[in-house]
Amino acid sequence: MGTTIRTNTETNIIDIFVRACARCVGSFPSNKLSGSVVSSRLLRMLCGKQATRLCLGLISVVIVCKICSIYYTNSLLQIVEGESNSSSPTANRIERRFAVFGCSTPERDSHRGFDYVFYLPLTVLAWQRIGFESIVLIIGEKSEWRVHPILSYVLDHLESQPDTTVIFIPAKMENRMMLSQTARIFVANMKEFPGIATDHIITTDSDLWPLRKEHYYLPHGIDRSLILVHSQCCEPFTFNGKSYPMLPMSHIRASAATWKEIVNINSSFANDSASILNYFQQFFGERVHNRVIFASEDWYLDQKLVSIHVAQWISQNSQDYVYKVSDEGFKRIDRINWNADRIQPSSFGNYFDTHLLVDGFMPDKWESIKPLLNLMYNKSPFRSDWCNRYASSFYKIFIKWKSNSNSS
């Protein structure tokens, strides 16, 4: 083979290149392998002109990478400095949205107690689907949930869900059902609330799933402090001789700051079981301390009170601060006339929410819910699979617990 003759310039170029690489990426530590050694190895592999062209090209790449690295580092420093020097703690912060719902810790003879419990993780997933985090209020002690086979299973699934905050509110057994209804409107007052004043909170139910995302967001270019969804659903009611529009508790959205303005009136402040009950007692008397019967008049005390306070807030401010979402042309998938299996994907956008079946964890009921899951999660079937596995295991644990309870 012929001998390749290289100039000193060519050798120096290669040596410079190797040292540049060593400094930039640390591929060749200087105390173990010198640039000249690597240079000689490269030189033996390449002829003069080829080596020169290759090295010049690679040196250019290294220089560009180094410049980009410096620019990126400086940009990060500017961002950090900008955040630390900003006069506003919320500068450049993305607004967070929270759906708040929950349930009371079930009693052995409670009506539908485990039905509400069952839906909690599934409802978290449904709100995640449209871009909301969840705050789950559980009336009772966390220790009760840890030792109960069904409740611990549900709690594990809640705590493993991203963007989920679980808040336990200890209370006497006879007050738990009432508090599960009334605590939602005070979440902005609670020390565990994970957001700030500008973040938005929507009150909802554990057995209700949102479907049409656009129903829960303001249209582009519109800014309002209070958003009322499905606000024309109910008949008005009278309180202290005055008529008020009845707002559904499951569809009131406002910023945390606005929620505080709505509920913290006349120096009243509530954020735990005792203060919440006392707050309602001011309006409805001692009956708020009694056990609540499902679907009785007292079942809707929270809905009446928040309707009164919202009406007062609007009168003190302006209708211009309120956005009412129209239901015209849209429907609900309702437990009264369940039709999820007959809805085509092309028409699914016509439904804004669903009120779920009672005892949804029972196999026959769950089979009826499955078509809805396919419509909701058609682009992410792993979510449907997750729901099915959760429901199947829940039912098995429930049957085993019920059998053991009956035999004891």
Residue 20, CB-side half-sphere exposure with 13 Å CA sphere: 18
Computed over its alpha carbons, how large is the radius of gyration of the chain? 31
Cα torsion angle, 57, 63, 65, 68, sign: negative
Predicted local distance difference test score (pLDDT) of residue 56: 60
Residues 240 and 195: their CA atoms lie apart, in Å, by 35
Question: H or E segment at 169?
Answer: strand 164-169
Question: pLDDT per position in the chain (408 positions), as tens?
Answer: 444 444 444 445 445 444 444 444 443 343 444 444 444 444 444 455 555 565 566 556 545 544 444 443 344 334 333 343 444 444 566 889 999 999 999 986 554 679 999 999 999 999 999 999 999 999 999 999 999 999 999 999 999 999 999 999 999 999 999 999 999 999 999 999 999 999 999 999 999 999 999 999 999 989 899 999 988 788 889 999 999 999 998 889 999 999 999 999 877 899 999 999 999 999 999 999 988 877 777 888 999 999 999 999 999 998 889 999 988 999 999 999 999 999 999 999 999 999 999 999 999 999 999 999 999 999 888 999 999 999 999 999 999 998 888 876
Predicted local distance difference test score (pLDDT) of residue 253: 96
- For 60, phi and psi rounded to 5 degrees? -60, -40
Tokens coding 316: 């003190």
User: What is the DSSP code (8-state) at residue 388?
Assistant: H
**What is the percent of the chain with per-residue pLDDT over 90, rounded to a whole number?**
62
For 81-142, give the DSSP string.
HHHHH-S-TTTTPPPPEEEEEEEEPPPTT-TTHHHHHHHHHHHHHHHHHTT-EEEEEEES-H
Cα torsion angle, 191, 196, 202, 206, sign: negative
Residues 276 and 302: their CA atoms lie apart, in Å, by 11
Instruction: Give the type of residue at 332.
Output: R
Q: Is the pTM of this model over 0.85?
A: no
Predicted local distance difference test score (pLDDT) of residue 50: 58
Domain boundaries defined on the chain = 8-85, 97-407
Contacts 24+ apart (CB under 8 A), 259-265: 259/185, 259/187, 259/188, 259/201, 260/188, 260/189, 260/197, 261/313, 262/185, 262/306, 262/309, 262/310, 262/313, 263/185, 263/186, 263/188, 263/189, 263/306, 263/309, 264/189, 265/309, 265/312
Predicted local distance difference test score (pLDDT) of residue 385: 96
**Where would I find the beta strands (DSSP E) of 346-396?**
351-355
CATH class (in words) of the domain with range 97-407: alpha beta
